Amino acid sequence: MSKFEEINVNLIQENPFKLIGKDFMLVTAGTKEKLNTMTASWGGLGVLWNKNVSFTFIRPQRYTFEFLENNEYYTLSFYDKKFKDMLMFCGTKSGRDIDKVKETSLTPVFDEEAPYFEQAKLVLICKKLYGQFITPDCFISKEIEKNYPLKDYHKIFIGEIVKAIVKI
């Protein structure tokens, strides 16, 4: 079984543009009885309201969306290159149709009521602070609308990063 240790977020060495945008992450929420996870590559890490936060963007039709809505905590987890196939799988299949834990090598672990996976190299445990749907009326650059041919505007979840853990 892998071991993790808590670290101060200021000690995270990785570039968030690469970490999220190129290597991707899993967004995971739920309980021991029922959890779901999906791949995400849009989001951010930063500071707001004097807290370290993450910004995650989830379209409403994702099964994971329901889990984020119904749970106070969720995790963002990051993986080595060798897990790219798993990330593509979790980003193209829905937990409505399959059990992603059963279909992958992922082993769930729980912390602060939020699930993550033993295979992760870095995990951010987030507590929901704020959620709001993107509204097309607010697009200052009209070019953004091209991301929404289905009008399925993302919901932005801002979560306080209550704990960061790394594999040791």
CB of 1 to ligand FMN, least distance (A): 26
User: For residues 117 and 119, what is the distance between their CA atoms, to the nearest angstrom?
Assistant: 5
CB of 43 to ligand FMN, least distance (A): 6
> CA of 138: how far to CAs of 58, 86, 114, 153, in Å?
18, 35, 32, 12
CB nearer ligand FMN, residue 60 or residue 105: 60
CB of 8 to ligand FMN, least distance (A): 26
Q: Which residues contact ligand FMN (rule: CB under 6 A)? A: 24, 36, 38-42, 57-59, 62-64, 88, 91-96
> CA of 91: how far to CAs of 62, 63, 165, in Å?
10, 11, 23
CB of 162 to ligand FMN, least distance (A): 21
CB nearer ligand FMN, residue 48 or residue 98: 98
DSSP 71-128: -SEEEEEE--GGGHHHHHHHTTS-TTTS-HHHHSS--EEEETTEEEETT-SEEEEEEE
In the bound complex, which residue of the shown chain has the CB atom lying closest to ligand FMN?
91
CB of 89 to ligand FMN, least distance (A): 9
CB nearer ligand FMN, residue 4 or residue 122: 122
CB nearer ligand FMN, residue 100 or residue 163: 100
Please work out, in degrees rounded to the nearest 5, the angle formed at the alpha carbon of residue 96 by the alpha carbons of 92 and 102. 75
CB nearer ligand FMN, residue 7 or residue 94: 94
